[in-house]
């Protein structure tokens, strides 16, 4: 293979990814090149401007990743990391890849912990997956005590890797319905990004449909089976006045508010994300 430049390799990669229907082909091409080269995206862009050459071995490695990405393997599985707020999380097969919209949802829980008068408020993250929300709470509110629960052994392994250095976070492998009973009546915040996709609503994106674990996606015929369990469990975990935060689909806000009101929650309120789609519902324990 004749020597090429980083610019040429990235340009060719972006064209191939665009042809495969990748939403942000240039971004993905630059990130995958950076992964191979051990560079951040800005460094790759600088190398493109300078016209830096690309070694044959690196060119072959980038090409192999582009083939996999064009086949709609998630970018985060190829690089092994996913950004979340200020964190860089290890992810891969068997765990749900955290989404940017969840960063906004996590803010409700973080704000509540920061404003809590308790010197060591308790926050609980149910269905933690990669540990994204729990670790965000633990690192951004270091005086809080955080407990994160995950049912899947595969996802739990990723969460264990991500949260290993968080001294104020306890990770539990178990079912949200019957774990952490010793905390009942003490939590300031319970937050969850539960599986909420209706069973017959197959996701459009191949990355989600083929690679995100079904246990993290599907929530029964209306998508709310786990939310119903979550409501009952959270009302026992929280102390009076404690906050519940639930991420959900854009069309589920009204149903979740009604569900929470029927369970005795106070002031159920649905909040939009930055794209003005309903994304989270909060409620207070009476």
Q: Phi/psi of residue 123, each to 5°?
A: -120, 140
- CA distances for 228 relative to 36, 163, 214, 264, angstroms: 44, 28, 18, 13
Structure confidence by residue, pLDDT tens digits, 40-90: 999 999 999 999 999 999 999 999 999 999 999 999 999 999 999 999 999
Structure confidence by residue, pLDDT tens digits, 8-52: 999 999 999 999 999 999 999 999 999 999 999 999 999 999 999
Mean pLDDT across 128-156? 98
Task: Give the pair of three-digit tokens for residue 77.
Answer: 């599985």
Reported as half-sphere exposure (CB side, CA atoms, 13 A), residue 93 has a value of 2
**Mean confidence (pLDDT) of the chain:** 95
Task: Give the pair of three-digit tokens for residue 246.
Answer: 């639930």
Reported as half-sphere exposure (CB side, CA atoms, 13 A), residue 11 has a value of 10
Neighbouring residues of 12: CB distance < 8 A, sequence distance ≥ 6: none
CATH architecture assigned to 82-284: 3-Layer(aba) Sandwich (3.40)
Domain ranges of the chain: 4-71, 82-284
Q: Distance between CA atoms of 182 and 147, rounded to whole angstroms?
A: 12
**Same CATH fold assignment for domains 4-71 and 82-284:** no
- Is the pTM higher than 0.95? no
pLDDT at 51: 94
Q: Supply the DSSP string of 258-276, one letter for each residue.
A: HHHHHTT-EEEEEEE-TTS
**Cα–Cα–Cα angle for 73, 78, 83, nearest 5°?**
105
pLDDT for 283 beyond 80 = yes
The CATH class of the 4-71 domain is mainly alpha
**Cα–Cα–Cα angle for 91, 233, 187, nearest 5°?**
80
Q: Phi/psi of residue 151, each to 5°?
A: -85, -40
Structure confidence by residue, pLDDT tens digits, 164-212: 999 999 999 999 999 999 999 999 999 999 999 999 888 888 888 888 8
User: Crossing angle, helix 6-19 and helix 25-37, to 10 degrees?
Assistant: 140
Q: Distance between CA atoms of 225 and 223, rounded to whole angstroms?
A: 6
**Cα–Cα–Cα angle for 159, 165, 168, nearest 5°?**
90
**Residue 247: strand pairing partners:** 280
**Cα–Cα–Cα angle for 107, 111, 117, nearest 5°?**
160
- CA distances for 208 relative to 11, 31, 93, 182, angstroms: 26, 20, 11, 35
Q: Kindly indicate the confidence band of residue 2, based on its pLDDT and cuts at 50, 70 and 90.
A: low
CA-CA-CA-CA torsion sign (113, 117, 121, 125) = negative
Q: Kindly indicate the confidence band of residue 1, based on its pLDDT and cuts at 50, 70 and 90.
A: very low
């Amino acid at each position: 293979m004749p020597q090429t430049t980083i610019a040429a390799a990235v340009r060719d990669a972006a064209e191939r990814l665009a042809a495969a229907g990748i939403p942000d082909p240039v971004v993905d091409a630059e990130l995958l090149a950076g992964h191979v080269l051990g560079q951040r995206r800005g460094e790759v862009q600088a190398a493109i401007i300078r016209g830096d050459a690309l070694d044959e071995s690196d060119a072959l490695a980038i090409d192999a990743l582009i083939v996999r990405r064009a086949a709609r393997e998630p970018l985060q599985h190829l690089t092994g990391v996913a950004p979340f707020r200020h964190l860089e999380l290890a992810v891969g097969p068997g765990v749900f890849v955290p989404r940017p919209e969840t960063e906004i949802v996590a803010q409700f829980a973080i704000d509540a912990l920061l404003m809590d008068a308790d010197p060591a408020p308790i926050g609980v993250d149910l269905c933690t997956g990669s540990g994204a929300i729990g670790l965000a709470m633990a690192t951004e509110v270091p005086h809080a005590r955080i407990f994160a629960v995950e049912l899947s052994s595969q996802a739990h392994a990723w969460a264990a890797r991500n949260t290993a250095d968080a001294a104020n976070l306890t990770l539990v492998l178990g079912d949200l319905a019957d774990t952490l009973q010793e905390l009942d009546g003490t939590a300031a915040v319970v937050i969850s990004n539960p599986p909420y996709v209706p069973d017959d609503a197959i996701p459009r994106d191949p990355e989600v449909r083929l690679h995100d674990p079904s246990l993290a996606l599907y929530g029964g015929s209306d998508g709310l089976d786990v939310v119903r369990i979550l409501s009952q469990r959270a009302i026992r975990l929280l102390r009076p006045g404690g906050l519940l935060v639930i991420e959900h689909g854009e069309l589920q806000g009204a149903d979740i508010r009604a569900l929470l009101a029927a369970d005795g929650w106070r002031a159920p309120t649905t909040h939009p994300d930055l794209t003005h789609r309903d994304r989270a519902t909060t409620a207070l324990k009476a």
